[in-house]
Structure 1
Amino acid sequence: MQTRARVGVALTALAALLAGVGAPSTAHAQTAPAPAASAVSIQTALPAPVSAWSAPASDGSRPGWSTRNASVLRAPAAVVAPALASGASRLRVVTTRVVGGQPVVSTATVPAAQAVATVDRAQDAPGAVAVSVDTRAQATGYNDPIRPQQWSLSRLGGETFHGRVSTAGVTVAVVDTGVDGGHPDLRGVLVPGAQFLEPSAGGTGGTGATDPNGHGTHVAGIIAAVADNRVGVAGMAPGTRIMPVRVLDGHGEGWTSDIARGVIHAANHGATVINLSLGSDQPDVTLDKAVQYAVAKGVVVVAAGGNERLAGNRASYPAAYANVIGVAATTSSSRAAAYSNTGRYIDVAAPGDGIVSTYPTRLIRSGYARMSGTSMATPLVAATVAGLRAARPSLTVAQVQSLLASTATDLGVRGRDDTYGAGLVDANRALCTLRVCPAVLTWSGVSSWTPAAGTPATGVVTARTATGDVLAGAPVRVCYAPAHLGRTTCSDRRSDAAGRVATTFTARSITGVSVNYLGTSAATASTTHVTYQTRSAVTTRTGPRSLAVSVAPRQATVLLDRYDAYRGTWTQVRSATTSVAGAAAFTRLPAGTYRLRTPRSSTLAAIVTGAVSVR
């Protein structure tokens, strides 16, 4: 005899209401009691509406675009250095000038050997406010207005992930409360789905593209909301096709038999991944059989780990079934959410607290809501799996599970645990295990970013693959561009056995240092550029109502500030021109606390000394 257990969505919606949007619908009313034969309960609260925020209005102050940028004052070689490090044979020098009250941008393409001279001339052009070397750019930050509120996407590197793999050929079935097919941020995302409900809740039939509850629409948006469309939010894997399979009613409840039908339908109609943001504490053989059928057909099934940690913490199904990826929820501080279930069935964790996504506009006027729960963490893992399957369609279910576990960021106690499973899912690391990604270059061992002139300046760049393996013996190009020389010097080298490349020079002026990893079969090319802000050494000597200063190398102007203890501010009171030897003296000073400053020059950084007492 078939078991028919009521199942509720694994959802905890917690949030503070944001101002400026319509009130939520009462569709999330108290749930109806489950049949006594196999009772389950759910945790459901109203979602919080979300609106896009806008930047504050300008205060009308002088426009910054019309003032000269430091690039007009820097040594031409320092401006050109990062581009020369790339090894390009021709460069585009860009000049921005103020003409007729507006910025005018012009470019000049020249051989690399002529770039420094071209920049030098551009800096002297009338009205020049910025000079640079043109660079290629690609979209890295989505323009969706609510994107800044999507901390989960930032944590998992959503833009980078999407930039590395297209999921346009992958279908994820969202077996849930349905998906709002008319939502503006899901336009063109849905493929035909299905509906499996008892007659009183709508019966069987339809395409699943209606959602009287909102939960399924929220899940779908986390996976595949359209990105860079200047509307709402962005999905973790935009471009993914969503198959809406409605198996839960307007209260977020349904029969396990209907969920089983939905899983079978998804597996038979082209789904690569099935997202199950729902659960029951009662195992059901019918649903288990359906899940195993999908797995046998090569479909990856991802399910919510449950939100009942504080209410018994019983295992949640289908997450606890064999061959299913069970997902726990983390907060923005990368800690387990208080409600997130623990257990041996938890495989990985993902952000699930305060997640902003799409919501039916008939329920919330803005069309967006913030919700929390393992229901929200699960689609982030499903989206990650979509990317992995897009990168390598031949991956088996077991290989996907192993890849997610081996590349996850360990959280909690060392190694696998029942709270986080293998750890926080790392979409980019998992993807870069399957395909070659740019090298990751990190700096360490820097003695000072503001070295005194005449002292050694050191730094070490370590080259690693995106998965953390060191790139030993890798080809690199190191370039130095000291401002006082007006030219760039480069040398080709190899990283050591630990993937390290040392950079060492004697600081004489502001110096740009570029390290360009030239690329191998293990990682593609990447570049890191830093600037050492070399400064003069300043010594002071106080006397009765006097202060003598020596600046080496010489800076022409020295400024004297006095501290106003009443206002708590520094105020410039004197200036002096230094001698050829860099010396200056201030006399007849009132007793007080002073400091010295030198303005930035074309070759040396500005200086601000510590406080000096004059009596």
Structure 2
Amino acid sequence: MMQSKTRMSTIALAVKMVVATTAFGVMGAASAAAPDTTRVIVAFKPGAKANVKAAVAAAKGNVKHEIFGMDAMAIEVPAVALKGLQNNPNVQYVEEDVIRKPFALTSPSTGTPYATGQLVPYGIKMVQADQLPDTNATNRKVCIIDSGMNRDHEDLVGNVVTGEYDAGTGWWYNDEDGHGTHVAGTIAAVNNSGVGVVGVNANKKLKLHIVKVFGANGWAYSSTLASAANKCGAAGSNVISMSLGGGRKTKTEENAFNSLQSKGVLSIAAAGNDGNTVISYPAGYASVMMVGALDENKAWATFSQYNSAVEISGPGVAVLSTVPMGTGSEAVLTVGTTSYAPGAMEGSPAVVRTGALADFGIGDQVNASVSGKVCLIARGTVDFATKVSNCQASGGVGAVVYNNVAGAFGGTLGTTVTSIPSVTATDVEGAAMANQLGQSATVGIKASNYAYFDGTSMATPHVSAVAALVWSYFPTCTGAQIRSSLTKSAEDLGTAGRDTKYGFGLVRAKAAYDRIASLGCGN
């Protein structure tokens, strides 16, 4: 089982493999405004930058970020100075520089269309990426605004990638958070036999441009996003993918995305993960396509924000993709000669232990008979932390908690700290292991290069990658026409027609291609 993130999920990985919420940083290191000061965006008249900077200095303020491609800057000033700046004849408007945040099941390939030994995340087939080759993708570029990308990742090496240096967050190829690398994997993880997963565009043809806007500190401002989007445009990007957002709009961001739309760029962003009706931005701007999340059964993900602005949906629950090398985790479980596909118990230490498998009931009591053994524990009545703690207190070296209803499940130890590894198993696996008591069992958590993430952050790159894939076949179409074609060819889900949870429905690559091939770009 791989590590899960963004909204935690522990889903079993039925293969053997050695394999959001942060927010984004600013040009200078992200930090909250000092007490009695406020951070705002000041838009000024063309040619008035020097005069406005002088006014900011006179007000005992500081310029924090000059917005790339716009006559605007983010400043931090004493709150009492705001009125004077608003009345300055060189200033067009002043607005709050609000915070923006990111909103993170497979089958083995049979050899067609992906190499044998590849894991195919369920979302790849769900969006029909396996039905539309990325032969022409060299004519498209996707810009990913996120936490950067681990360019040396075994499953991303070979892609055509460019990126930006940021004075606050550093080089685009260093991803301290993992979020951006996960997004990049969904878009373009490489079809390389025996290594990891595949992305929507899996054959190293699609061009990527990475703008790193957040680091390990966890948040930043809308001014940074406006700059980042403009940099995407300046780099010649066709599609901008943004797995991030926040609850309030700004005129500066809206102007940036409106301008990019007028230049033919298709901007796509996450709806948000709070499970309410709040409209997040930038997804809520008319010039940006808002993406909601679905699970592997095409059901609405309960964390996905729902409102009239949701336009389209993509896979966003238990999405397996790349994370910086060695930062993910994989659950392992073998009993005798049988290898199982466990889930990781959240909070388990990353260790692997071996001992004879022993029945530990429901784990409600300490029992010295399991000393030196692996505890097989039935789910039910007692919380997971107590079950694993009792196993440890009994001298057990590891714990396996199996389900008392059908299917896999995710467990957490909460604030309880244990020294023994613990994993979860399905009811079927538990029944099988009950017939293997006394056999040697190996259980644990080990480092991985992949992880399961949940979130509209994961749905967004599916849609962005499909947009680029379809567009590569029809490069004379405009971004607006591709956007319209994606919605008109989406698989209608939920209430008939557009609705607040699914938008127009599930994005589908082959269906969109067929529609344009039959009806043309503008229909």
Kept after mapping to 2: 8 A contact 1:279/1:316: yes
Matched letter for residue 177 of structure 2: N
| Aligned twin of 2:226 | 260
- Which residue of 137, 152, 155 maps to 1:167? 137
Residue 54 of structure 1 and its aligned partner are, at CA, apart by 8.9
Secondary structure of the structure 2 residue equivalent to 1:266: helix
| Aligned twin of 1:14 | 9
Kept after mapping to 1: 8 A contact 2:140/2:237: yes
Query: Residue 278 in 1 paired to residue 244 in 2?
Result: yes
- Which residue of 280, 290, 309 maps to 2:256? 290
* Equivalent-residue separation in structure 1 for 2:220 and 2:193 (angstroms): 35
Residues 215-254 of structure 1 mapped to structure 2, 5 A cutoff: 215-238=179-202, 239-254=205-220
Kept after mapping to 2: 8 A contact 1:190/1:244: no
* Equivalent-residue separation in structure 1 for 2:490 and 2:200 (angstroms): 17
Matched letter for residue 276 of structure 1: M
Kept after mapping to 2: 8 A contact 1:177/1:252: no
| Aligned twin of 2:154 | 184
Query: Residue 143 in 1 paired to residue 115 in 2?
Result: yes
Kept after mapping to 1: 8 A contact 2:101/2:220: no
Unaligned 5+ runs, structure 1:
1-9, 56-137, 437-464, 466-615
Residue 323 of structure 1 and its aligned partner are, at CA, apart by 1.6
Residues 335-374 of structure 1 deviation map (CA, whole Å, 9 limit, x = unaligned)? 1100001111111011111000011014234211110100
Residues 122-521 of structure 1 mapped to structure 2, 5 A cutoff: 140-143=112-115, 145=117, 147-148=119-120, 150-162=121-133, 165-196=135-166, 199=168, 201-202=169-170, 206=171, 208-238=172-202, 239-309=205-275, 312-364=276-328, 365-435=447-517
Unaligned 5+ runs, structure 2:
39-96, 329-446
Number of matched pairs: 327
Kept after mapping to 2: 8 A contact 1:213/1:251: no
Matched letter for residue 499 of structure 2: D
* Equivalent-residue separation in structure 1 for 2:129 and 2:485 (angstroms): 18
Matched letter for residue 346 of structure 1: V
Kept after mapping to 1: 8 A contact 2:149/2:181: yes
Residues 357-410 of structure 1 deviation map (CA, whole Å, 9 limit, x = unaligned)? 011014234211110100101111111110122111121122112101111111
Secondary structure of the structure 2 residue equivalent to 1:192: strand
* Equivalent-residue separation in structure 2 for 1:212 and 1:366 (angstroms): 16
Matched letter for residue 427 of structure 1: A
| Aligned twin of 2:387 | none
From the superposition, tell whether residues 233 and 252 of structure 1 become closer, same or farther in structure 2 (CA, over 3 Å): farther
From the superposition, tell whether residues 28 and 266 of structure 1 become closer, same or farther in structure 2 (CA, over 3 Å): closer
Matched letter for residue 112 of structure 2: T
Kept after mapping to 2: 8 A contact 1:302/1:319: yes
Kept after mapping to 2: 8 A contact 1:43/1:307: no
* Equivalent-residue separation in structure 2 for 1:42 and 1:385 (angstroms): 23
Residue 41 of structure 1 and its aligned partner are, at CA, apart by 8.4
Matched letter for residue 125 of structure 2: S
| Aligned twin of 1:525 | none
* Equivalent-residue separation in structure 2 for 1:54 and 1:327 (angstroms): 27
* Equivalent-residue separation in structure 1 for 2:212 and 2:183 (angstroms): 13
Residues 75-111 of structure 1 deviation map (CA, whole Å, 9 limit, x = unaligned)? xxxxxxxxxxxxxxxxxxxxxxxxxxxxxxxxxxxxx
* Equivalent-residue separation in structure 1 for 2:211 and 2:464 (angstroms): 15
Kept after mapping to 2: 8 A contact 1:11/1:374: no
Residues 426-450 of structure 1 deviation map (CA, whole Å, 9 limit, x = unaligned)? 11100112337xxxxxxxxxxxxxx
* Equivalent-residue separation in structure 2 for 1:183 and 1:397 (angstroms): 31
| Aligned twin of 1:108 | none
Kept after mapping to 2: 8 A contact 1:161/1:428: yes
Moved more, 409-418 or 234-243: 234-243
| Aligned-pair Cα RMSD in Å | 3.3
Matched letter for residue 140 of structure 1: T
* Equivalent-residue separation in structure 1 for 2:122 and 2:459 (angstroms): 12
From the superposition, tell whether residues 414 and 40 of structure 1 become closer, same or farther in structure 2 (CA, over 3 Å): same
Kept after mapping to 1: 8 A contact 2:493/2:502: yes
Matched letter for residue 360 of structure 1: P
* Equivalent-residue separation in structure 1 for 2:107 and 2:485 (angstroms): 38
Kept after mapping to 1: 8 A contact 2:127/2:466: no
From the superposition, tell whether residues 405 and 359 of structure 1 become closer, same or farther in structure 2 (CA, over 3 Å): same
Matched letter for residue 254 of structure 2: D
Matched letter for residue 12 of structure 1: R
Kept after mapping to 2: 8 A contact 1:185/1:358: yes
Residue 15 of structure 1 and its aligned partner are, at CA, apart by 2.7
Residues 98-113 of structure 1 mapped to structure 2, 5 A cutoff: none
Matched letter for residue 235 of structure 1: G
* Equivalent-residue separation in structure 2 for 1:428 and 1:277 (angstroms): 24
Kept after mapping to 2: 8 A contact 1:195/1:262: no
* Equivalent-residue separation in structure 2 for 1:330 and 1:423 (angstroms): 10
* Equivalent-residue separation in structure 2 for 1:414 and 1:153 (angstroms): 25
Matched letter for residue 180 of structure 2: G
* Equivalent-residue separation in structure 2 for 1:426 and 1:17 (angstroms): 26
Residues 189-223 of structure 1 deviation map (CA, whole Å, 9 limit, x = unaligned)? 142211345x4x44xxx4x1221110000001101
Moved more, 237-246 or 362-371: 362-371
Residue 42 of structure 1 and its aligned partner are, at CA, apart by 5.7
Normalised to the residue count of structure 2, the TM-score between the two structures is 0.57
Q: Percent identity?
A: 31
Kept after mapping to 2: 8 A contact 1:281/1:315: yes
* Equivalent-residue separation in structure 2 for 1:53 and 1:323 (angstroms): 36
